[in-house]
Amino acid sequence: MILPCIDLMGGKVVQLVQGRDKALEGDAPLEMLARFSAFPQIQVIDLDAAIGSGANDDIVELLCSRATCRVGGGVRSVDRARKLVEQGAHRVIVGTAAFTPALEEIADAIGHERVLVALDSKDGRIVVKGWREKTEFTAEEVLHRFEPHCSGFLCTYVDKEGMMQGTDLAWFRRLRAATDREITAAGGITTLEEIRELQRLGIHAALGMAVYTGKLSLIELANLT
């Protein structure tokens, strides 16, 4: 499955480089959703909620009312997870809170089948809190720890996020070998060849910058779904 991404900041659709520098703004949220109508699911990340500077709840709810969306950003409590489900989120992405007791509480509250754990890697280590804090763990080390509390993983190769330089397929191969849970790859995916290799591995692809810049054609991508 190919998932176009809608990242929200200040009420706008944006694309960041490595989670920090805004590279571009997309069209209005509903216009982007219309462009992505050929895809079965959309990934929506509330960047303001992720870094604790606010939230884009009205837009998230609107997008979830129009499409099947997996939603993340600032999901650090049961209340936040429940709110996203109430807003229509098909699945909820948990990042920083996965390393706290909140993950089990969230899974119990909304069902583990709705939970995706975000494992974002930079310089070989998992990063949390909007990619601003590095942990001591590698993704391969923690996959089994989280499996009882989620239905899959969103794994972002932060080193290449937004840089249009390709991703690290070897990393995703190692992750695929380490778990039988669903994996969605993100971070630097730039070519159809990379997407085909991920599909061969049984890994979904979440796409941002390559779609927004036109490097990857939505028509060609739709034919791969």
User: Which residues have a catalytic role annotated?
Assistant: 7, 120
Query: Which phi and psi (to 5°) does residue 103 adopt?
Result: -60, -50
User: Is residue 205 within a helix (H) or strand (E), and if so which, with residue range?
Assistant: strand 204-207
Q: Are 175 and 201 within 8 A, CB to CB?
A: no
Q: Which amino acid is at 109?
A: A
- The closest of 82, 93, 91 to 41, measured between CA atoms, is 91
User: Is residue 178 within a helix (H) or strand (E), and if so which, with residue range?
Assistant: helix 169-178
Question: Rounded to a whole number, what is the largest CA-CA distance in the chain?
Answer: 42
Query: Which phi and psi (to 5°) does residue 47 adopt?
Result: -65, -35
3-state secondary structure of 116: strand
3-state secondary structure of 61: helix
The rounded distance, in Å, linking the Cα atoms of 96 and 135 is: 10
- State the burial class of residue 58 (Cβ atoms within 10 Å of its Cβ: 0-12, 13-18, 19+): exposed
